[in-house]
Amino acid sequence: MTLDPTKNPDWKIAQDAESRMKTVETLAAEMGLESRELLPYGHYMGKIEQQAVLERLAGRPDGKYVDVTAITPTPLGEGKSTTTIGLVQGLARRGLRSSAAIRQPSGGPTMGMKGSAAGGGLSQCIPLTPYSLNFTGDIHAVGAAHNLAMTALTARMQHERNYDDATLARLSGMRRLNVDPTRVGTGWVMDFCAQALRNVIIGIEGDGRRNDGFMMRSHFDITVASEVMSILSVARDLRDLRERMGRMVLALDRDGKPVTTADLEVAGAMTAWLVEAVKPNLIQTIEGQPVLVHTGPFGNIALGQSSVIADRVGLKLSDVHVTESGFAAEMGYEKFWNLKCRYSGLTPDAAVIVATVRALKSHGGAPQPRPGRPLPEAYTREDVSLVEAGCVNLLHHIGIVRRSGVPSVVCINKFHTDSPVEIAAIRRICETAGARVAVSEHWEKGGEGALELADAVMDACNSGKQNFKPLYDWSLPLTERITCIAREIYGADGVDFEPLAAQRLKALQERPDANDLGVCMVKTQYSLSDDPTRKGVPASWRLHVRDVLLFGGAGLVCPVSGDISLMPGTGSHPSFRNIDVDVNTGKVTGLF
């Protein structure tokens, strides 16, 4: 008997479900894996030997491919992961072999503001604690590979400062790279939200010594924003990963030429850290369906997708494979559509747009809810006018998915506090706009509460109305592709490029591989615009691009807009204040 989610926190529900969960060997066998294709990590988690699976099942047709996205969220999140897991549970109750792919949670948000990213209520993945805290070590491996590259770079700068060319050649066979310390674009990474590390000085010499590194300004980003994580997300196999790892650009030399990880002869060692991380992780829903957890780039500051490898494996083993994109359709789904699907060669059959009464009220004019604080009264009382006003945001996201040529289903993620009148208003507005809509109660009822959603998704998948097409031609100049995204997806009037951004885009456009570089926007997730305070569908605004980053290994150009930072901060009421350990049982408590 499962616990009531209206009366019990997620971690208690997870611990109760964990007493009945399948061993990973049983889960893998039910999924269709052979024993040699599973690498168990304890009793309930494992890694998949993806190459063996894909070679064995090369001739098997793929299952249906579904992406889960959302409307513009509040800081509390609107339940995309919960919906992904609930949908998979609902599909299983309809007799379909189903699987999910979600991203590995970062330690920063887990300890900072969101708690676990395992779903919630009766639609969670388990085991909760190891999934949320370190898991199989993939994020640590990404951080180690990234920081090894920075170690190689800064050590090289020190040695080139201390020795002349002849001594460098005699000691190690090195050639001088002449790294410009003012043009080192890459920083260090750690997997917490540590605003104190956004700007640092490294290599401070003590007592006149010259062996403490090279003194210069630097910075830390959160690990999931690392280019290494994006490379891991888009790589098709270990060979592709190794090749991409050598194309990372860490800095420019004094002549303005790129200094890569291949130049530093560190790409092979970086890949060595990732030999196990390239393999997808396997856990389960609380109802026993397989969940592939692999990679964790954020949707606002990176690619925002689980890995290409996980989706390829899931599609071979499932009738329906459900993947999730970070944040809302203008961020995560746009990158799924125009980046991930290009890298993978896969075509989606349907997309789910998650909407909540809470988020719609926010877009309708209610005060912004804050994590760790009581909800404003507007969210706890019935107010159909706020919901109706906020539906402009939902309609905009429906339009984004339609633009991609993929049939969509609006999932009204029903909270037990929502009123029937508010739910009816959302359904009416969606149906008037010609959208499929399903009310889902998967948080409260698990797979049984997601049957309407599962049926609507299969109706979309089998509609025959798929006409998947890219938003833009990759042969267009980078500035035109950025402008296309801003106008057609965000609803901006145009784009303003600061001098630094314009200069960097000009240099990138002159590269011979410019047409092979994808555009991966860096923007706030809390608004369609670059101003997080503007809700609904902002009008009369222009996207402000202040910088441009190059992820050469991932093949991405990342225009940075607004005040978004690659190192989030920890707020005044962080989640870690609620987390503890029962010293008698060793069980972690307080993970949401």
Check residue 209 and give its pLDDT: 65
Check residue 69 and give its pLDDT: 98
User: Does 81 count as an annotated binding residue?
Assistant: yes
User: Does 77 count as an annotated binding residue?
Assistant: yes
Q: Where are the alpha helices (DSSP H) in 235-328?
A: 238-245, 267-272, 308-317
Structure tokens at 590: 């307080």
Check residue 538 and give its pLDDT: 98
3-state SS string over 30-75? HHCCCHHHEEEECCCEEEECHHHHHHHCCCCCCCEEEEEEECCCCC
Ramachandran class of 408: left when φ > 0, alpha when ψ lies in -120 to 50, beta otherwise: beta
Q: Which of 350, 317, 300 is nearest to 466 (CA)?
A: 350
User: Does 344 count as an annotated binding residue?
Assistant: no
User: Does 49 count as an annotated binding residue?
Assistant: no
pLDDT in tens, the chain (592 residues): 578 999 999 889 999 999 999 999 999 999 999 999 999 999 999 999 999 999 999 999 999 999 999 999 999 889 999 999 999 999 999 999 999 999 998 888 888 875 567 899 999 999 999 998 889 999 999 999 999 999 999 999 999 999 999 998 888 888 999 999 999 999 999 999 999 999 999 998 766 567 778 899 999 999 999 999 999 999 999 999 999 999 999 999 999 999 999 999 999 999 999 999 999 999 999 999 999 999 988 778 788 899 999 999 999 999 999 999 989 999 999 999 999 999 999 999 999 999 999 999 999 999 999 877 889 999 999 999 999 999 999 999 999 999 999 999 999 999 988 999 999 999 999 999 999 999 999 999 999 999 999 999 999 999 999 999 999 999 999 999 999 999 999 999 999 999 999 999 999 999 998 899 999 999 999 999 999 999 999 999 999 999 999 999 999 999 999 888 889 898 888 889 888 999 999 888 887 6
**Secondary structure element (H or E) that encloses residue 403, with its range:** helix 384-403
Please tell me the distance from the alpha carbon of residue 300 to that of residue 45, in angstroms, as a whole number: 29
Indicate the DSSP class of residue 346: -
The residue type at 207:
D
Structure tokens at 370: 């804050």
Indicate the DSSP class of residue 516: G
Q: Which residues lie closer than 8 Å to 556 by C-beta, 6 or more apart? A: 227, 230, 303, 339, 517, 518, 519, 520, 550
Check residue 207 and give its pLDDT: 60
Check residue 563 and give its pLDDT: 83
Between the CA atoms of 563, 486, 310 and 359, what dihedral angle is there, to the nearest 10 degrees? Answer: 70
**Secondary structure element (H or E) that encloses residue 496, with its range:** strand 495-497
Check residue 261 and give its pLDDT: 98
Check residue 509 and give its pLDDT: 94
Domains and CATH numbers, the chain: 10-136+276-461 (3.40.50.300), 138-272 (3.30.1510.10), 478-561 (3.10.410.10)
- CB distance 591 to 11 below 8 Å: yes
- CB distance 75 to 268 below 8 Å: no
- CB distance 369 to 75 below 8 Å: yes
Cα angle at 514 between 157 and 341, to 5 degrees? 105
User: Does 74 count as an annotated binding residue?
Assistant: yes
Cα 237 → chain centroid: 19
Check residue 206 and give its pLDDT: 66
Please tell me the distance from the alpha carbon of residue 273 to that of residue 287, in angstroms, as a whole number: 34
Please tell me the distance from the alpha carbon of residue 118 to that of residue 116, in angstroms, as a whole number: 5
User: Does 535 count as an annotated binding residue?
Assistant: no
What is the total residue count of the chain?
592
Check residue 106 and give its pLDDT: 86
Check residue 298 and give its pLDDT: 77
The residue type at 566:
L
